[in-house]
């Protein structure tokens, strides 16, 4: 596939992601995507196979990038606190990079079909397991109070980070560095002993 064709596909995916975010996956039709591209719906099929293919591509790309980011953090020579900080930075980076398609991880993933649904859930579950493992290591090192429920902490941290796109959409004047600092303060200082 040539570069121009990839570029057209990428534009279609970006327009679709915007529509999925604004209207929801079910409420967005191929006609809506075609209109956003200023083309006829039939012409869209020269570049993509289906709406489900677009959703799969968007979500799998995000899941794989999160997974790769996690692996880089795990393999780096970092303290567990530094790993937690890097995970917050990863979420901020992904939110700013994929401001529309990242919104799909909060609910639209349920529309994935096999084998993508299982692949997506496996990547998500592995990511959460690794995140929880870092929290457990912190607690064992005395960096998180023993009374803190780590599963609840993980849920609270990830819920905030998953919905960050919604907040940032209305508050995009905050620069990335300040956003990361604020989130690290809010999300991590509450559970850390130091």
CATH code of 1-48, in short, is: 1.10.10.60
**pLDDT tens digits, one per residue of 124-141:** 999 999 999 999 999 999
Residues 6 or more apart from 153 whose CB is under 8 A from it? Answer: 135, 144, 191
Boundaries of every domain in the chain: 1-48, 49-188
Residue 4 has what pLDDT?
Answer: 53
**pLDDT tens digits, one per residue of 86-124:** 999 999 999 999 999 999 999 999 999 999 999 999 999
Residue 5 has what pLDDT?
Answer: 52
What CA–CA distances, in Å, run from 156 to 59, 79, 131, 176? 22, 22, 12, 21
* Average pLDDT along the chain: 94
Which residue numbers in the chain have pLDDT < 70?
1-6
Residue 193 has what pLDDT?
Answer: 84
Give me 107's structure tokens.
Answer: 């609910």
User: How many separate helices (H) and strands (E) can be counted in the chain?
Assistant: 9, 0
Residue 1 has what pLDDT?
Answer: 45
CATH 3.40.1360.10 fits 49-188, yes or no: no
CA distance 167 to 172: 8
Record the pTM: 0.92
Residue 22 has what pLDDT?
Answer: 96
């Amino acid at each position: 596939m040539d570069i121009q064709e990839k570029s057209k596909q990428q534009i279609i995916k970006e327009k679709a992601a915007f529509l999925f975010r604004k209207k929801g996956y079910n409420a967005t039709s191929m006609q809506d995507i075609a209109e956003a591209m200023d083309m006829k719906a039939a012409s869209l099929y020269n570049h993509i196979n289906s709406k489900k293919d677009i959703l799969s591509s968007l979500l799998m790309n995000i899941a794989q990038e999160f997974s790769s980011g996690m692996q880089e953090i795990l393999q780096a020579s970092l303290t567990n606190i530094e790993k937690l900080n890097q995970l917050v930075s990863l979420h901020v980076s992904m939110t700013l990079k994929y401001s529309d398609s990242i919104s799909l991880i909060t609910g639209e993933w349920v529309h994935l079909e096999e084998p993508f649904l299982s692949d997506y859930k496996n990547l998500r579950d592995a990511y959460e397991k690794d995140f929880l493992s870092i929290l457990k290591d912190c607690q064992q090192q005395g960096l998180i109070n023993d009374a803190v429920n780590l599963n609840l902490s993980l849920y609270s941290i990830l819920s905030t980070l998953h919905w960050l796109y919604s907040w940032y959409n209305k508050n995009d004047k905050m620069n990335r560095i300040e956003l990361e600092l604020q989130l690290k303060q809010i999300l991590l200082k509450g559970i850390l002993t130091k």
